[in-house]
């Protein structure tokens, strides 16, 4: 059953920012060692400042797996990340998502029914070829379980090329979902020829492909995408190149291939942070990722010139749902031993999904 976000009440909605911050800090202190607040890099500053640990999807999954002494893990990120944390933590730990409406539109583009149906169609055409399923971590626990059951692996934006290499060593074909762009960027980086990469359009029979094209393909990409990273275009890359040749362009691999190909570097949010923070004073950057991270990098690196690659605000509106008032509501309840918004993956799904996550951590 889908959990629904309840209204937290006017008492929380009416609180001014400074009062919210004071009360969150006090609750954090009261809960002490029992509490772990994890924050993804796209969180807004008013929440991010309360993080015990921050990271990209891979780092946060590893943190959650390592912190087995924390009964309460408050996950300031999106639903699939909290699910992964629940899968990797013990039964004595509660993973909590402060606002249940914080989903990921890309993860919602691959339902279990659609993927299972497509898998059947694909297998019927490819006959004896071994297909390895690889799912980006931005997917539901049910999808991860589907992959675990079929000896596949999860990947994140920081290890997609490594996981794809592993998959191609273990099978003739890889079925990659849900992000077309991460899949294509990783496959091209590995030197796979463009005519061996095909797109699986989930609305069409055989994904809109001929049987021949499917038989020839090495990498089959689901047609999902990130609504935030799709907003960066090749025209933005061109604009910066013309404006200032000294500007280095770095983008997330969820961007379209033409954007990644035009950039100087690409990588996960963690890699973007490392590249920008480690660059020499006076460096100039145009960054193709979510605006909260770009603004934070600009604030933390006043000796550098930092811009968003796009002139428009590319905000992840679902990440943005995690607001201080929801965090406070969660912590107020925890102090009274009431766990709200716990993310629970059912044990059968968790067991299979853990196989796919564990394989990624091994690779």
Q: Is 174 in the site for ligand SF4 (CB under 6 A)?
A: no
Residue with tokens 């990271």: 55
* Contact status: 138 vs ligand 13P (CB under 6 A): yes
How big is the site for ligand 13P, counted in residues (CB under 6 A)?
A: 11
* Site stretch for ligand SF4 (CB under 6 A), options 84-92, 98-106, 143-151, 265-273: 98-106
- What does 310 interact with, of ligand 13P, ligand SF4, none (CB < 5 to 8 A by kind)? none
State how beta strands 35-40 and 72-76 pair. parallel
Neighbours of 250 (CB within 10 A): 20
Draw the binding track, 252-281, toward ligand SF4 (x: CB under 6 A; -: no contact).
Answer: --x---------------------------
Q: Kindly list the distances between the CA atom of residue 346 and the CA atoms of 6, 83, 172, 311, 343, in Å, as whole numbers in the listed order.
A: 22, 10, 32, 43, 10
Query: Binding to ligand 13P (CB under 6 A): which residues in 31-50?
Result: 41
Q: What's the min distance (Å) between Cβ of 290 and ligand SF4?
A: 5
Q: Where would I find the H helices in the chain?
A: 10-13, 17-31, 45-48, 57-66, 79-88, 112-126, 141-149, 160-170, 180-189, 211-216, 234-243, 257-262, 269-277, 291-300, 324-335, 347-362
Looking at the Cβ atoms of 105 and 171, the one nearer to ligand SF4 is: 105
231 interacts with ligand SF4 by CB under 6 A:
no
Alpha helices in 250-323 (DSSP H): 257-262, 269-277, 291-300
Of residues 152 and 253, the one with the C-beta less far from ligand SF4 = 253
In the complex, minimum distance from the CB of residue 180 to ligand SF4, in angstroms, rounded to a whole number: 12
Q: Which is nearer to ligand SF4, 109 or 192 (CB)?
A: 109
Q: How near is the Cβ of 235 to ligand SF4 at its closest, in Å?
A: 20
Select from ligand 13P, ligand SF4, none the partner in contact with residue 227, using the beta carbon and a kind-dependent cut-off of 5 to 8 Å.
ligand SF4
Counting contacts by CB under 6 A, is residue 159 touching ligand 13P?
no
d(CA 67, CA 70): 6
* CA dist 30 → 27, 331, 347 (Å): 5, 10, 32
Residue 157 contacts ligand 13P per CB under 6 A: yes
185 binds ligand 13P (CB under 6 A): no
Question: Binders of ligand 13P among 52-81, rule CB under 6 A?
Answer: 56-57
For ligand SF4, which is the closer residue by CB, 106 or 306?
106
Alpha carbon distances (Å) from 283 to 280, 293, 309 = 6, 17, 15
- Nearest approach in angstroms of CB 138 to ligand SF4 is 5
The verdict on 118 binding ligand 13P (CB under 6 A) reads no
Peptide bond into 193 cis (omega under 30): no
The Cβ-side half-sphere exposure at 259, using a 13 Å CA radius, reads: 24
Centre a 10 Å sphere on the Cβ of residue 10 and count the other Cβ atoms it contains. Answer: 8
Q: How far is the CB of 59 from ligand 13P (least distance, A)?
A: 8
Whether 42 and 157 have beta carbons less than 8 Å apart is answered as: no
Site for ligand SF4 in 100-139 (CB under 6 A): 104-106, 138
d(CA 341, CA 146): 25
Q: Which of residues 235-264 bind ligand 13P (CB under 6 A)?
A: 252, 254
List contacts with ligand 13P (CB under 6 A). Answer: 41, 56-57, 138, 156-157, 226, 252, 254, 268-269
């Amino acid at each position: 059953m889908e959990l629904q976000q309840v209204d937290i009440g006017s008492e929380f909605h009416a609180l001014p920012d400074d009062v919210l911050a004071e009360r969150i800090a006090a609750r954090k202190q009261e809960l002490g060692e029992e509490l772990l607040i994890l924050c993804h890099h796209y969180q807004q500053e008013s929440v991010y400042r309360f993080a015990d640990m921050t990271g990209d999807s891979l780092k946060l999954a590893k943190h959650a797996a390592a912190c087995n002494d924390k009964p309460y893990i408050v996950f300031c990120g999106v639903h699939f990340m909290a699910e992964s944390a629940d899968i990797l933590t013990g039964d004595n730990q509660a993973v909590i998502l402060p606002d249940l409406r914080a989903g990921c539109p890309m993860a919602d583009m691959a339902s279990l029914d659609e993927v299972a149906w497509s898998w059947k169609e694909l297998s019927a055409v490819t006959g004896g070829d071994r297909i390895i399923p690889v799912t980006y971590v931005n997917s539901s626990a049910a999808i991860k379980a589907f992959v675990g059951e079929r000896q596949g692996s999860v990947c994140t934006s920081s290890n997609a090329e490594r996981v794809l290499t592993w998959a191609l060593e273990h099978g003739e074909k890889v079925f990659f979902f849900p992000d077309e762009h991460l899949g294509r960027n990783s496959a091209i980086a590995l030197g796979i020829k463009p005519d061996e990469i095909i797109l699986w359009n989930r609305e069409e029979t055989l994904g809109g492909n001929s049987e021949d094209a499917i038989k020839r393909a090495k990498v089959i990409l689901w047609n999902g995408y990130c609504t935030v990273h799709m907003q960066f275009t090749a025209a933005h890359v061109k604009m910066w190149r013309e404006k200032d040749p000294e500007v280095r362009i770095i983008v997330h691999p969820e961007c379209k291939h033409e954007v990644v190909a035009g950039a100087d570097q690409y990588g996960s949010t963690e890699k973007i942070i490392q590249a920008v923070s480690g660059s020499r004073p006076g460096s100039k950057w145009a960054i193709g990722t979510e605006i909260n991270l770009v603004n934070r990098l600009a604030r933390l690196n006043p000796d550098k010139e930092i811009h968003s690659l796009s002139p428009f605000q590319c905000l992840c509106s679902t990440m943005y749902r995690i607001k201080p008032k929801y965090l406070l509501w969660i912590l107020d309840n925890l102090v009274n031993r009431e766990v709200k918004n716990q993310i629970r993956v059912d044990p059968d799904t968790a067991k299979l999904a853990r196989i796919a996550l564990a394989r990624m951590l091994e690779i």
